Amino acid sequence: MYDDYEKCSVCGSEVRLVPHPGSDGGATDGPAGPREGYVGAGDDPVDVRRCTNDDCPTRKADGPDA
């Protein structure tokens, strides 16, 4: 995990970093990318910025990113 002090890009509220859904945060030893790809995590997403404002549009399933 890393520090991210930027406010929500939509409403300006504080954000909380949460693990990306479907990621356990551990290293991946399988190939990443094309079938003959590289070994390792490749471009696994980093933590997700989640707005702390429950009414923010970023909290909706199809909303923009915080």
* Domain locations in the chain as residue ranges: 1-66
Strands 31-32 and 15-18 come out as unpaired
Q: Could you list the pLDDT tens digit for every one of the 66 residues in the chain? A: 456 789 999 999 999 988 776 655 555 555 555 666 555 555 555 678 899 999 999 999 889 988
pLDDT of amino acid 12 = 95
Q: Is the pTM of this model over 0.85?
A: no
Under DSSP, is residue 52 helix (H, G, I), strand (E, B) or coil?
A: coil
pLDDT of amino acid 60 = 92
pLDDT of amino acid 5 = 80
Give how far Cα 4 sits from Cα of 12, 39, 45, 50, Å: 14, 28, 15, 11
pLDDT of amino acid 50 = 92
